[in-house]
Amino acid sequence: MNKRHLILYTIDRAVRFLLWTKGELALILGPLVSGLTFDAFVIGCVWTGIDIWAIRFFKRHMGEGLLKALLYWHFPPVKQFKSWPTSYIDHFVG
C-alpha cells in the first residue's frame, strides 16, 4: 500500500470493537444483556444468535450500505446526523 494514502485509509474505516462496529455490537449485546437482566438467558442467547445470522446475511447479500439506508428511511432521525434532512422531506426549495 502506498504510504501517502495510509492516513486516509484509516480515517475512512469504521470504529470497531473486537470484530463488530458500534451498531452491530449494540445488536449483539442488547438481547444478551436484556436476557440476563430479565432472567431469560436462553432467550437472550437465541436472539443474539439470530442477530448475528441476520447481520452476516445482510452484509453478504445486500452490502453494508443498505443497513444505513434502511435506518435512514425507516427509523426516526438520529441525533448525530442533524445536518442531514429527515427522510420524509422529499422536495427542496433553492
> What are the cell numbers at 81?
446526523
Cα separation, 30 vs 5, whole angstroms: 36
pLDDT tens column, 6-55: 555 556 667 778 888 888 888 889 999 999 899 999 999 999 999 999 88
pTM for this model (two decimals) = 0.58
For residue 29, what are the domain limits?
18-75
What's the CA gap between 14 and 21, in Å, rounded?
A: 7
- Is 50 a member of any domain? yes
In a domain, 9, yes or no: no
Higher pLDDT, 25 or 91: 25
In a domain, 81, yes or no: no
Residue 37 lies in a domain: yes
Is residue 34 assigned to a domain? yes
* Among candidate residues 65, 85, 86, 83, the one with its CA nearest the CA of residue 23: 65
Whether 80 is covered by a domain: the verdict is no
Cβ-based neighbour number of residue 26 at 10 Å: 12
Examine residue 41 and state whether it is found in any structural domain, yes or no: yes
Domain count, the chain: 1
Nearest in space to 81 (alpha carbons), one of 93, 69, 91: 69
